[in-house]
Structure 1
Amino acid sequence: MGLFSRFTDIINANLNSMLDKAEHPEKMIRLIIGEMEETLVEVRSTAAKNIAEQKNLARKIANTQKAISHWQTKAELALTKGREDLAKSALAQKHNSQKELIAFEDENSLLTELLANIQTDAQHLQEKLTEAKNRQANLIRRQNSAEVRLKVREKAVVHSIDAAMAKFERYQSKIDHLEAQVESYDLTDKQDLASQISALAADDAIENELAEMKKQAASAA
């Protein structure tokens, strides 16, 4: 199983768990990005180990090739000196080195294929990581915009309430004015009544004074 395939399984498991818990989208995106970044670190670490191993294999292959050439030369030399036994021994060493070379080359081929797969997975994962970060940035922009718009709406609501309260104050002032007018009429009526009563008292005084004058005039006559 490739690293990217395993990463996909991890992400799917986490996403299913988060969806079951009805988590927020931004949390899911953070989780995805975190998993991608961790997987990329693992991919790079694995690739570095494989590259180091391939370099080591390259040295082994080069040394083995030299050993094959070396034993071939020794076998030829022994044969020219009439030492067939030594020539056979040298050829046996050469064959052993050839077997090692085949094993090293097979291992190198596997590493080459693995590195190619890792590179493909890493590239695919990097593309998905970039996409996820772009979505995260877009989500943050949308969230910030929504929060600003909400604040504007809230302020508009407060303004509407203030406007309604101002109207209420104006209505209350109008009622106060009407009540003051009523009170002023009542006060005027009370003043008129007091004036009439005072007038009656003045009339009585005049009548009394007039009667006294008449009485004095009659006495004088």
Structure 2
Amino acid sequence: MDNVLLVDDDVELAEMLADYLRRDGFDVQAVYDGATGVTDALSGRYGIVVMDVMMPGMSGIEALRRIRLQSQIPVLMLTGKGDDIDRILGLELGADDYVPKPSSPRELAARIRAILRRTQTSAEIPELLSVGLLTMYPEKRNATWNGQPLELTGTEFNLLEVMARNAGRVVNKNELSEAGLGRPLARFDRSIDVHISSIRQKLDVCPNGQSYIQTVRGRGYVFIKD
């Protein structure tokens, strides 16, 4: 579903971005405050939310937190350049990715397409991916751990799927970024680390007390076969 919900209190900027995205083939609805953004995001009418972090009243961070209490709809955050704390907090709360402001509409459109491409169900025959306690259904976009549902964002699902398919082998961060975010890993970008940390918190630990996702310094991450 290429319906985009754009949430930004800067009306002029929001309309400019919305017009560009419409010309690029998206169906876009713009709203200008966080509370309305939350209500519309939970309506089921949209495939992705693009939301500014800095808004008066309810901030984008608080709106994201409320959305994640009820939905795993993809959320792309618009953050000010250099606002690393907001970016990391947004990712920790379940944002799928972020775009620094000011950004080009072309880059925004590319990021939206990358997220949608990796989160929308394809028409292929359903398959099952099982590694130890983890079972994933890639075409249905759901997963279980030890028989219990795993609540994963779209990006978290993509990253975990890549690691599960390569269980026992180190997967480098750039490979994870390409697969999970649809873009090369930028210098000093901590997005992958934050997403992996979130996934770890949703999984049990190994019998020896270690995480099932191990960091291999200077190389990447490895999913431990049970």
User: How high is the TM-score relative to the length of structure 2?
Assistant: 0.17
Structure number with the higher strand fraction is: 2
Structure number with the higher helix fraction is: 1
User: How high is the TM-score relative to the length of structure 1?
Assistant: 0.17
Task: Name the structure, 1 or 2, with higher relative contact order (CA <8 Å, separation 6+).
Answer: 1
Q: Which protein has the larger Cα radius of gyration, Structure 1 or Structure 2?
A: 1
